[in-house]
Amino acid sequence: MSPERMGRGSAARALAELAGGAATGPVRLWEFAVRLRLLGDTHVGAAHDTPRHAAQSDVDLLVDRDPGTGVPRLRATTLAGLLRHELARRAGTAAAGRLFGGAAGAGGEDGAQRPSPLHLDDATAELPEGTGVSVRVGTRVDPDTGVVARGALWQTEVLPAGTVFTAHLRLHVVEEAEEAQLLALLAAAADGLTGEGPGVRLGGRGGRGYGAVRAVAWRARRHDLTGAAGWFGYYGRTWESRHAEMARDLAREPDGVRTAVAAALGGQAAEEVAAAFAAATVPDGRRWAELRMRVAVGERPTEAFVGGWRGDAPRPGLLMVGEAPGLDRLDAVDRAHRRRPAVGARGRVDEQPVLGDTALFALLKRIGRRLAGDLAETGDAHWRAWHDRWWGADTAADTGRRGSASPSRIRLRRIPVLAGGTEWRATRLTVDALFADAVEGRLSADALHCGGQAEVVLDVWEPDEAVLGMLTLVVRELATVPFDALGAGAGVGHGRLAVVSAALLAAPGEEAVDVLAALTDPGSAHRTRVRRWVDAWVAAVTGGTDDAEGS
């Protein structure tokens, strides 16, 4: 008799005989496959320490690779940890413990450890055609002076935008009553893979815009392990056939995990589970603020400030966030503005100029630091502690202060891509300071970027009104007279940025504040809210309030 025609009793006896005893374990098993596409530069570091030059390379930070094939990979433990962290932010540690395992207080009972019902596999990378793992040269910018710190230079392997990971997950349901809730928890964790909002970031340097990722396709399949058909349907296949079958159907599946689950819950027997899953909701308890700016490369003319500030269109300027030119341009220029593969609206990967990541974050951090330092008059201990709490603290070796480094609570969502503008080639030469003559052999050509605009999005975790006031003042600095510049050539006027539009969302669901309208219209409601935020910032920086943790 075929497995499909076995009765439930005979199926149980057959399984018990095969297993040498009573069949135990999950009653349902869900297979998932998801295609993850990187939206920008990503560094997923190796899990083992590799001394510099050990691999006959000058690269300091290598990406993690499969030891057998050498292909870059995303470890299952890395993805599981990111999803667990995302679910804990949304629904708390107890909900994360139910899906990813933990002790009592995190989903367990009577002090016993609860195993994770969700299992994952390592995923290897599929690089876009014509691209490869690139090496990025990084430097540290001194927060006080805005110049590169001496000796702070390193090289990092980076996965380009458009790289795809196909990840495989399995959800083990031990009790039928838990099936719908476990599926809802998985869907809530997967909401962080949409590429929007402050969701999951793969790898390191996420605060600088690295690691933005989007789940572009999902596939789900449900196995009933209480019957022989479901049992043999899963365990009767090899790992290779399971992965190949799930990956083959990814292109035909919808791009959401909820619709993939709904498609797999077909048939009358699954109607109750489908209804329970549709009704199950996981509340989103995250708190964050969002600053969305449109930034132009250039600055406003002097006449824009005569007789009162006006938001005139900025004049295009030059920008140089330098890197070595590509192989096709080595004979034409010595240094070029940074260009990186970026994913377009239709999923196409093109090489486009970028505004910068570390340099842009350092610029915004430097402006906030200068504003706080200029305001404070009671010594630097208090305002530095407040500043470090939001922007991140430097190591003691860099600043001479005791204490360990702390992460930033202000994060750049994605590396901004410049739209518009054009390349501008300039020839440079070295002039002798004594005789004012050109030094022989010191001639070079630069490929700068002229003009263009980019969207910059900052996310702030658990904000208070003081940090919102600081962000509005940073916008004011960039919208009016930019004292600070981005990239190289600041001494000759390069790297000026001007804010064209700025909307600050204090909390999800609230109405956004138009920061530029608050600057130009004293009687607007936007000015009233901004004034309250700025007053809170003044009190927090000068020590005029003890409530620096929240509002």
DSSP 3-state helix, strand, coil percentages of the chain (rounded to 5)? 35, 30, 40
Q: In a 3-state reduction of DSSP, which class is residue 414?
A: coil
Distance CA 23, CA 176 (A): 16
Query: Tens of pLDDT along the chain (551 residues)?
Result: 444 444 455 555 555 555 444 445 788 899 999 999 999 889 998 865 554 444 445 677 888 998 889 899 999 999 999 999 999 999 999 999 999 987 544 444 455 677 899 999 999 999 988 788 888 877 776 666 666 667 677 788 889 999 999 999 999 999 888 888 999 999 999 999 988 888 899 988 888 889 999 999 999 998 988 888 888 888 888 888 888 888 887 866 557 888 888 888 876 567 878 888 888 888 888 899 999 999 999 998 877 777 777 777 899 999 999 887 777 777 778 888 888 888 776 667 788 899 988 889 989 999 999 999 888 866 677 888 899 999 987 654 444 444 456 788 999 999 999 999 999 988 877 777 777 777 776 778 888 999 999 999 999 999 999 999 999 999 999 998 878 899 888 888 899 999 999 999 998 888 999 999 998 888 888 999 999 999 999 999 988 754 444 43
| 3-state DSSP of 471-488 | HHHHHHHHHCCCCCCCCC
Q: Do 95 and 286 touch, CB atoms closer than 8 A? A: no
SS3 323: strand
The reported pLDDT for the residue numbered 262 is: 85
pTM here is 0.84
Q: Which residues pair with residue 419 across a beta bridge?
A: 453
